[in-house]
Structure 1
Amino acid sequence: MTVTAPVLEIDVKPLPVEGRPKDFSGAIGKFEFSATGTPERVKVGEPVSMKLVIKGSGNFDRIGQPPLDEPQGWTTYSAKQGFSGNDGAGNEGAGTEGVKTFDLPVTPTVAKATMPVFAFSYFDPETEKYVTLKSAPAPLTVEGVPVIAAPAPATANSTVTPTAEPKTPAVQDILANLPDIGKASAAFGPSLSPAVFFSILGAPVPLVFAFIAWRRRRGDAKLARAAALRRERAGMISQVKNAANRAEVFDAAVKAVRIVAQIENGALPDDDAAALLGSRKIDAETQKSLGEIFEARTELLYAGAARGDDRISDTERDRVMEAIASFEKSPRR
């Protein structure tokens, strides 16, 4: 016996183009959206841990990381995603009821008064309209000065004539930069301004010796500080060479760059990539490589990545070493 089912006609309508939000990723259904962040007080450059929650019914597999509604003054990173379906099978397909979460760090680059606001858009098949939901702007205190963008590397069209740099012999490893003691002069002359120099000549002998001792102590302290920084840098370079996972390698690399910059520029913020990279005239490739290292380090430290199992390859380690070496050999600004 043959049984024939009645023919069902299905009217499939394309999603309307009119009114489609820019951040629409294909989510269709009924959803609710919320976001929470901690802590409520940070400094510029410190991350706020955001948790985005989307719950409802629909095709969760088409829901990607919601974007910032106003991205100015924020730096976002890749989120750790999670999904819990009511059927317990983890199916994110059409018609599924459940909850999808996104955990990610967001770093303020300027002072802010509220938590970052995220937007999520979906299509409601009942009303046949697009809906955009935004998270509530919860209070947040951000202290500190704004992060200044690193200067862009010189291009071929630049009108500035670069200063010829002396040739540097090829090296097999990263060398520490010696402090610049200035150009040698064939003529004898005082290292102080004429007014100070001649005032010292006219001062009593004990004052002259006291001044000389003060200058010597200040010079000794400066040299001792530079020597301590070089020892610290050597330790960081050793960690870059020997650490097993990416988080430790990238963390040591960022600290090594900071130490190299501090040897000649004084104290600089640990995580201020713009200030650190801007302390030297680095080429575009080095700036790109170091920028990626800074970003990867922040993600691994704050995004909840599995640090113990995230081993680094020899190729990636060599790339990190080359970027640090290029930074060290670049001239100071």
Structure 2
Amino acid sequence: MEYKQTRLGYADALIALGKENEKVVVLDADVAKATLTEKFEAVFPERFFNCGVQEQNMLSAAAGLALEGFVPFASTFGVFATCRAGDQMRSSIAYPNLNVKIGVTHCGISTGGDGASHQSNEDIAMARTLPNMTVIVPGDYEEARMATLAAAKMQGPVYLRFGRDKYPVVPQIHNSFEIGKAKVLREGSDITIATTGIMVSEGLKAANELAGLGYSAEVIHFHTIKPLDSTAVISSARKTNAVVTAEEHSIIGGLGEAIAAVLGENHPCALRRVGVQDVFGESGQSDELLDKYGLRAGNIVKASLEILR
């Protein structure tokens, strides 16, 4: 199996966008080597702005550039964009509905050795509550690349979420990309597995394991958390009457709760959420942390069997 960084997909897309549109500019908060926006800087130094360790000012500058007709991509770690610069994200970008793209990396427990201070397991919850904000969580390198290209084409603020590590390449999600449109990767009749981000590969593995136990699992990948594809949620739930969500994020405020809200209002049914529990992370290797915090196919299977048996 091939593994690639989602943040690399972001960086490669930025270069492609820079070649297509001279209005595309990139800002970073002194972490360009980590976010990989240094690649854009190498090609377009005159359109790259290192704002230093001043995330609040970076988002404010991005807002100003958007008002002047540019297409700014502001880049930093997820925890800094949402927790440190949350005021600017809300009041300077989302409230005036400006065309700013916020590309964040090092999200989720797989950030690894940087530890709890840098492992953003709460950022989806923070971003999706903001009016006007579109929230996208790609599943692998190629989808990250397509998501970045799509974000540039739409008008309005977008929160693009990427990880630090190398993650499995999932060819099933490469056929197309439409913001707000989920992808049905596998048809099933007994239970629905709803994934986002890097959990898509674990969701597909879980479906295979369940098939070996005699259960038919439908797998749907939600690369867009907001606007959520409610039609896909309701349609699948009416067929299976059982849903398990899987995300590399807290079970509070992310995909699981977004889907629970849709089901509660439209088709109440059995639901389990796989994700980081209401805890902070810790330092460790990415794979070790994904195991410890229950973000594996086996955890999805276990949650599914709690409903099916």
Does TM, scored on the shorter chain, surpass 0.5?
Answer: no
Output the TM-score relative to the length of structure 1: 0.23
- Greater Cα radius of gyration, structure 1 or 2: 1
Identify, as 1 or 2, the structure richer in helix. 2
Output the TM-score relative to the length of structure 2: 0.24
